[in-house]
Every structure is written in C-alpha cells, then in structure tokens.
Amino acid sequence: MTIVYVLVLALTILANAFEGVAGLVGAAFMKQNAEQVGVPFSWLPILGLLKGAGAVGLLFGLVGVRALGIAAAVGLVLFFVGALVAHVRARVFHNIAFPAAFEAFAIASLVLLITH
C-alpha cells in the first residue's frame, strides 16, 4: 500500500465517521447547516448513518475488501453530489467548501480503490 492510498482513505474515513456521529447526535453545527440548506432535522440521523456506513465500507476497502470499499466510495460520491446540489439550490455558498472537500476526498478514495 502506498502512503497516499492509506492517508487519503484514512482521512476520508475519519472525516465521514465524525460527520456521521455528529448527524446521529444532532450536533448544533449540523442543525444549523441543515436549516440553511432546507434539510429537515429529522433527516440528520439517517444522513449520519449513511456517512457512517460509507466510513465503515471504506475501512473494509482499506483492509482488503475492495468491492465493498468501492461501493462505499461510490455511495459517498453520490451523497456529496446531493449535498452540493442542496447548497446550490438554497444559494448557501459561504460554507460550500465543506461538502466540496468531502466530495473531493470521496472521489479520490474511489479512484485510489479502483486503481490500487
């Protein structure tokens, strides 16, 4: 395994695990962002579970279950496309860098899992 492969996947896993837990517990910053982009608070636990599932799937991909890692990365790419669309539709651009960064890491993880 290359250092870049491990580093990118580890950062993607940690970031999505953190966001997943924050969504599950209804962290204040998650509620504030949801309100700004028009996402109901009731969706936060579900969205948190999806991010957490993506993190777990990437972890499996990192330890050798490549197909599961690829599936998780695809799921996260699609998830963050939805997040970016929600930000654009709501015209909330002041913090769009966050879902864009998560999207970039999800894409990088997908590419690395496919090519590794």
- Tell me the per-residue pLDDT of 13-36, one tens digit each, with 9 for 90 and over: 999 999 999 999 999 999 999 999
Spatial separation of the C-alpha atoms in residues 10 and 56, rounded to whole Å: 11
| pTM score | 0.95
Q: Provide the number of structural domains found in the chain.
A: 1
Spatial separation of the C-alpha atoms in residues 9 and 106, rounded to whole Å: 9
| Structural domain harbouring 23 | 3-115
- The separation between CA 68 and the C-alpha centre of its own chain, rounded to angstroms, equals 15
Q: What is the pLDDT of residues 72-113, one digit of tens each?
A: 999 999 999 999 999 999 999 999 999 999 999 999 999 999
- Residue pair 115/4 in contact (Cβ under 8 Å)? The answer is no
